[in-house]
Structure 1
Amino acid sequence: MTYCVGVKVNEGLLFASDSRTNAGVDSVATFHKLFVFHQEGQRLIVVMTAGNLAVTQEVITRLQQGLSTDEPGRNVLLAPTLFDVTMMVGGLLRSVIDRDRSYLQGFGADVSSSFIVGGQIAGDEPRLFLVYPAGNFIESEPATPYFQLGETKYGKPILERVLTPQTTLAQAAKCALLSFDGTIKANLSVAPPIDVLIYKANTLAIGRQQEIAAGDPYFATLSAGWGTGLLKVFADLADPPWAADDAAPGESG
């Protein structure tokens, strides 16, 4: 299983991905799922992957191979907009799945895969897209400043409560890591290392990249502080009046 988060705020973009993949409890491996295509001063493109590893690796490989061509429809460093880059990713995904679906499904393999594509190309604003398994996609907007891939349900609540376009990139990074913390605690198939990339709007540079390894001091402190804080807030909240031992039958607050 995978967990990836892409966030778009006014300050820029935040990308975070775990590196765990598994085919059962006795077959666990680490594969990075965050890929960067960079042209200094011209563009910064980030692609994160989830789903069938063979499918997603082929899509990424074909994107990388396209860098040696002079075709805007194949080379992400020549594509005029992030929309065109995302069209390219969706098209490659459809191509691989259409070719291999019947063979893979014959072995009981799940071919579904999805991607987050984001970044900025000179002359345009930072953009963030979610590519569905069918190859179609949507773009983030202020009301929905983030996308998730993979094991999304455990990390979603804090993203919903915290993130707005006004959230700073540092706060977005903290929020994303807490989202990972909740997911890791609930699902053993998601685990460090976590790859994080912070992109500041209009710099057209890679910005800050960080690998959060198992036992990372900041992540451990963040996790412990969040757990303690949640317990304190929980204890401070009033109990339901109708649950008290001395409440009259049918009493409500």
Structure 2
Amino acid sequence: MTTYSKMHTFKPAPDRQFVILSAGNLATTQEVMNHIQRDLDYPNGNANLANVRYLFEAAEYVGRISLEVQQEHGAALSSSGVSGEITLLIGGQIQGQPHGLMMIYPQGNYITASEETPYLQIGESKYGKPALDRIAKPSLTLAEGAQLALVSLDATC
């Protein structure tokens, strides 16, 4: 059995850190992550995680790559009855700005976690989501949040 990480970390410069979580088609996810890494290794003046100024610009950049990859392979995949869609969470911080969390939809657009919904969930959510809906709030300690995440994860299995 082979396993693949659904968590990808990027620290493209000393002033920034990003974590991307993925759900959906593995091949699409791997190609998107490869494009992100290529853009960091061989910058060409276009946006990449090392030069975006805001977290929302990072979400736009990753969403654009995701959509391009999905569109490139969409017809071939759908003719085989396979979905190439992925949903991503990007979290991180750029120095001098607040940390943040955004969910990037398969269509390339994104939403931001808020005071009312201090979490975002991708993948299978029908079982673990009620615990998050009832208990999650910004005032939870890190330990309480970790416990809640484990309860939610356990309810999903």
Fold agreement, TM-score > 0.5: yes
- 8 Å CA contact 2:12–2:40 kept in 1: the answer is no
* C-alpha distance in structure 1 between counterparts of 2:58 and 2:78, whole Å: 28
Which residue in 1 is equivalent to 2:52? 79
Whether the aligned pair in 1 keeps the contact of 2:87 and 2:106 (CA below 8 Å) is: yes
Q: Distance in 2 between matches of 1:98 and 1:54?
A: 13
Q: Give, in whole Å, the separation in 2 of the partners of 1:78 and 1:149.
A: 27
Asked whether 1:61 is paired with 2:34, we answer yes
**Alignment of 1:44 onto 2:17:** yes
Return the match for 1:115 from 88, 94, 101.
88
Distance, in Å, in 2 between the alignment partners of 1:148 and 1:72 is 33
Deviations 1:116-154 (A, max 9, x none): 001110121011101111111111110010001110111
Number of residue-to-residue matches in the alignment: 157
Q: Relative to structure 1, is the Cα distance of residues 111 and 171 closer, same or farther in structure 2, using a 3 angstrom cutoff?
A: same
Residue 121 of structure 2: SS of its match in structure 1?
Answer: strand
Distance 1:48 1:134 in 2: 16
| Deviation per residue, 1:84-127 (Å, 9 max, x gap) | 11111110011011111001111111122110001110121011
Which residue is 1:181 aligned to?
154
1:148 aligns with 2:121: yes
For the residue of structure 2 that corresponds to 1:47, the secondary structure is: strand
- Greater length-normalized contact order (CA 8 Å, ≥ 6 residues apart): 1
Alignment gaps of 5+ in structure 2: none
Native 8 Å contact 1:63 1:74 kept in 2? no
Structure 1's 71 and 172: CA in aligned 2 closer, same or farther, altered over 3 A? farther
Q: Structure 1: where are the runs of 5+ without partners?
A: 1-27, 185-253
TM-score by length of 1: 0.59
Look at both structures and tell me which one has the larger radius of gyration over its CA atoms: 1
Shift of 1:68: 1.4
Q: 1:150 to 1:72 in 2, by over 3 A?
A: farther
Cα RMSD, aligned residues only: 1.5
Q: 1:86 to 1:95 in 2, by over 3 A?
A: same
- Aligned residue in 1 for 2:5: 32
**By percentage of residues, which structure has more helix?**
2
Match of 1:90 among 63, 86, 100: 63
Kindly report which structure 2 residues correspond to 1:13-24, keeping only aligned pairs within 5 A, or say none: none
SS in 2 for 1:63: helix
How many Å separate the matches in 2 of 1:47 and 1:73? 20
Tell me the SS of whatever aligns to 1:173.
Answer: helix
Compute the displacement of 1:170 (Å): 1.4
Distance, in Å, in 1 between the alignment partners of 2:45 and 2:117 is 30
Per-residue displacement from partner, 1:199-253 (whole Å, max 9, x unpaired)? Answer: xxxxxxxxxxxxxxxxxxxxxxxxxxxxxxxxxxxxxxxxxxxxxxxxxxxxxxx
SS at match of 1:172: helix
Q: Which amino acid aligns with 1:177?
A: L
- What secondary structure is seen at the aligned counterpart in 2 of 1:60? helix
- State the match for 2:131 in structure 1: 158
Give TM-score, length-normalised by structure 2. Answer: 0.94
Write the distance in 2 (CA, Å) between the matches of 1:59 and 1:139: 21
